[in-house]
Structure 1
Amino acid sequence: MAPPHLNPLPAVEVGGVRFLIDRERPVAVLRGDDSERVVTWPDAPLPSRASTARLVPAPDAVWVVYEAYVPDSAGLVWSTAVRIGVDGSAVGVDIGRMSVIGADSEGIWASPAPWPAPEPYPGSDDVEAPASIDSEDLPVESWEDFQKDEDDWRRDVLSRHRNRRLHGVYTLSQLAELGDEDEGEHSYGWFASAPGDDAGEPATRLAPPPAPGPSAPVELVRFGRGGRVEPITVDRAVAEVAQDGSRTVFTFFPTNPVGTVDPETDSIGYSYPQSRISVDLTGGVPAALAVGDHEAAAVPMDDEECWDDDDAAGEATEPDARDRVDLATVSGIDWAPAGLSAEDIEAAVRDVVEQLEWLARPNTIWTRRDDRLHRVESPYRELAVRASGDWPETLVTVEFRHREYADALYRRRYRIFDTAGRPIDRQYLTVYLEADIATAHHPAARDGVIEFPDE
């Protein structure tokens, strides 16, 4: 086995020290003008699921933030962080179901809701999917018969609508066929319509969305040294907290997102105006903060600083060849194993297996050709899913043939756990798999097998 080497995130300069922090391992190399030290934190807290690392610099440290999305939590993340000081100290903190939004010399800031939601659009709650969309009472049509009817309908559409815009739902291969047969200009795409909808121009244009109200109050928390936890309620949603000299800068949303109707596409787009205030917190964090009590300055919408807090302090630089440090003689470079129970391990494997097995189920499809729902055989055939290997080296392998894109045998393997034994987020793996198949984002077939890279 090759000796381990540091695989650093872009280096960050803080306080005359160059921080090289590994992307996956709990290890950092700190370089000064005439010194170098290695820091490890194998026992620091981590989210319960596999997480990604990002860096949030502070005036005298760099925080390594580990974030993992929590399933079924409306986009919430579970966060932990490790503070690496310029002196080589390393202290971890469990932040919980909050997103890190910045750091200062006293600690790291987190918010449970860093982005405001748009105002409800009138009538948006009235749209419901047809009751029969999930019904299994419809007869299952064979893939071949369904495709034959669709092909006949498409040929009829082409003959009647040459050189006119076409409406419908097409697979990528069908789009290619239509493009070859018709020399006219078309607008193709994915359309979501319920039975009974008209494919033509809408009868009425979208009305302007309501004027946005003020963004909702939020309780931020600063996690400080020595385990100190300092909550503060701000009367507007806060996107970022940073330090400027002796003052703390809050970047906030004065209102909820501003909606605008695009007349060309008859769709609504949203912008997120932001403003900033500078507050003196040297006397401590107050219980509440009203942004209207301070002079605010609008943040220009093209100010990229407000969208990327990874380099809010210090200067990030890309690693070079000198940063590929040999870690063979360094201890503590691997995470302590996660404390998963046998039930936790079984559930993580079962979740992936069941997602993949779902591919073989018939699909409920609405078609414009007859304005009806159809249950159609799955395009996946000869589907086989199996798990192998002991935790944390468990793999799930899926094999299948696809009726539409190729007669070759497709194969892909998925890792279920990271190196520390925590489940890897596989929430949308079938979506990504289908996209890879449809776009031919995979190696060419060899000996009749299309072998995807392991994930």
Structure 2
Amino acid sequence: MSTDSRARRVAVGQDAEILVSMTQPVAVIRAAGEDDRVVSWPDLDVGDVAVGATVYAAPGGAWVVYAPSEDDEGDLHRPVTAVHVRSVGAVAQAHADGSRYAIGATRHGLWLRERHDPDPNDRAAWATETELLVVADGARTTHTIDRRVLIVEDAGDAPRMVFSPDAPDIRAEHCGTSYHYRYATTLLPTGPLPKRLAPMSDAVPLPDEEFMDVLRWRQPDEVVDTTPDVPWQRIHLPIERRDAAITALVDEFGDLAQYWRGPDGKRQPLTPGLSEPRIDIVGEWPDTRVEVTFRHPLLPGGLLRRTFRVFDDAGRITPHPYASIHLMEDLDTHAPLTPASPGEVRAF
């Protein structure tokens, strides 16, 4: 069983379901009156940066999309990799360049759109033609639309699209400028998709509350993970990439005792009272950890330590963006700890 017990359940028809592990490359297909079928993809190439999984339900099965949130160089343009787990047990793979991200799945396939929206102040740009990519069974089709698509979903009766009908309203308020977005929804064809989609012909406005409900409930149910233990295969990560990842994490903390420069030019610690920081690199790839140890008034007489894994179990780089700022926030808001004996080290 996967270690953190998280899985997503996708219903297929009336008497079947697919259980997808959120941490390991495996799924279980369950149907009434049949033995469970296990499908896995441990050798899938998702790149050298740790990825998160998102599961989209579609009438024919589940789409599992792998994408990094941010790598160690702040690069969001990493390839998106997807696996289509069908109710009959077959697994298909799809790749897309990093300029796109997944917005959902329908009976037509997995939908991807460009990452960036136009400038909110450029109203005309919000009605210009953009391209959508639909991936299914190894084939890719492109479709144009003159609106910004946000979500596609398919409950089995009819697929639909949620989109921005136009640019956001710009309002001057006492604190500055605010942007107010509007949403609309329209049904998609149940058959083949046309090359050009025209969502405004029968669009229905979608109130903010309903749009938030769509965002909240679009992911399949999270359940206890009862899938078999199928770890990812170890990747090959060049030595220079390993060293760069370790250096990037160590540099994130710099000198914690002199982290900020005050108005008077004097250096100040990351947070008041932090002193005697030490950074240690422990373990060999992929088990390498960076340990940050220091003294702080939260634990008089003792030491606090925060530990970071630099790589995941498969050897991929695990980014920790803004880790030092997160540490500062935790120290500034954490309740006092029980006094420690001299030299005691506590994880924080």
- Say whether residues 1:391 and 2:285 are aligned partners: yes
Task: Measure, in 1, the Cα distance between the counterparts of 2:131 and 2:217.
Answer: 20
Residue 222 (structure 1) shift: 0.8
Name the residue aligned to 2:64: 64
- Say whether residues 1:296 and 2:199 are aligned partners: no
Task: Measure, in 1, the Cα distance between the counterparts of 2:259 and 2:318.
Answer: 28
Superposed CA offset, 1:217-259 (max 9, x none): 432211111x211122222211012346686533211223323
1:248-267 to structure 2, matched below 5 A, reads 248-263=159-174, 266-267=175-176
Task: Measure, in 2, the Cα distance between the counterparts of 1:358 and 1:240.
Answer: 44
Task: Measure, in 2, the Cα distance between the counterparts of 1:441 and 1:110.
Answer: 44
What SS does the corresponding residue of 2:265 show, helix, strand or coil? strand
Q: What's the % identity of the aligned pairs?
A: 25
Distance 1:27 1:113, change over 3 A: same
Residue 82 (structure 1) shift: 1.0
Task: Measure, in 1, the Cα distance between the counterparts of 2:215 and 2:178.
Answer: 18
Superposed CA offset, 1:397-441 (max 9, x none): 111224798564221111011111111121111011111111126
Distance 1:14 1:358, change over 3 A: farther
Name the residue aligned to 1:105: 107
Task: Measure, in 2, the Cα distance between the counterparts of 1:281 and 1:414.
Answer: 48
- Of residues 249, 266, 270, the one that matches 2:179 is 270
Name the residue aligned to 1:89: 90
- Say whether residues 1:416 and 2:310 are aligned partners: yes
What SS does the corresponding residue of 2:237 show, helix, strand or coil? coil
Task: Measure, in 2, the Cα distance between the counterparts of 1:309 and 1:67.
Answer: 21
Name the residue aligned to 2:11: 13
Distance 1:441 1:37, change over 3 A: farther
Is the 2:255–2:277 contact (alpha carbons within 8 Å) kept by the matching residues of 1?
Answer: no
Amino acid at match of 2:180: S
Distance 1:442 1:422, change over 3 A: farther
Distance 1:398 1:442, change over 3 A: farther
What SS does the corresponding residue of 1:34 show, helix, strand or coil? coil
1:300-449 to structure 2, matched below 5 A, reads 300-303=207-210, 304-308=212-216, 310-311=218-219, 316-319=220-223, 324=226, 327=228, 333-366=230-263, 373-378=264-269, 379=272, 380-402=274-296, 408-440=302-334, 444=338, 446-448=340-342, 449=344
Name the residue aligned to 1:224: 136
Residue 270 (structure 1) shift: 2.9
Task: Measure, in 1, the Cα distance between the counterparts of 2:217 and 2:63.
Answer: 12
Task: Measure, in 2, the Cα distance between the counterparts of 1:232 and 1:393.
Answer: 44
Q: Name the one with the larger strand percent.
A: 2
Unaligned runs of 5+ residues in structure 1 are: 121-211, 367-372
Is the 1:100–1:108 contact (alpha carbons within 8 Å) kept by the matching residues of 2?
Answer: yes
Residue 339 (structure 1) shift: 2.2
What SS does the corresponding residue of 1:302 show, helix, strand or coil? helix
Superposed CA offset, 1:33-60 (max 9, x none): 1222222111123243111112100111
Q: Which has the larger radius of gyration?
A: 1
Residue 285 (structure 1) shift: 4.5
Amino acid at match of 2:92: V
Distance 1:450 1:267, change over 3 A: farther
Task: Measure, in 2, the Cα distance between the counterparts of 1:318 and 1:42.
Answer: 22
- Say whether residues 1:28 and 2:30 are aligned partners: no
Distance 1:245 1:443, change over 3 A: same
Is the 1:436–1:442 contact (alpha carbons within 8 Å) kept by the matching residues of 2?
Answer: no
Amino acid at match of 2:186: I
Unaligned runs of 5+ residues in structure 2 are: none
Amino acid at match of 1:425: P
Normalising by the residue count of structure 2, what TM-score does the alignment of the two structures yield?
0.85
Task: Measure, in 2, the Cα distance between the counterparts of 1:31 and 1:75.
Answer: 36
1:102-141 to structure 2, matched below 5 A, reads 102-113=104-115, 117-119=119-121
Is the 2:2–2:23 contact (alpha carbons within 8 Å) kept by the matching residues of 1?
Answer: no
Is the 1:445–1:451 contact (alpha carbons within 8 Å) kept by the matching residues of 2?
Answer: no
Task: Measure, in 2, the Cα distance between the counterparts of 1:439 and 1:238.
Answer: 39
Task: Measure, in 1, the Cα distance between the counterparts of 2:286 and 2:134.
Answer: 34
Amino acid at match of 1:420: A
Amino acid at match of 1:221: L
1:129-168 to structure 2, matched below 5 A, reads none
Residue 79 (structure 1) shift: 2.3
Superposed CA offset, 1:70-111 (max 9, x none): 346686664221111111112222223122101122310111
Superposed CA offset, 1:9-52 (max 9, x none): 24221223222211211112222112222221111232431111
Superposed CA offset, 1:291-322 (max 9, x none): 44x222111211134424634xxxx44535xx
Is the 1:103–1:242 contact (alpha carbons within 8 Å) kept by the matching residues of 2?
Answer: yes
Name the residue aligned to 2:346: 451
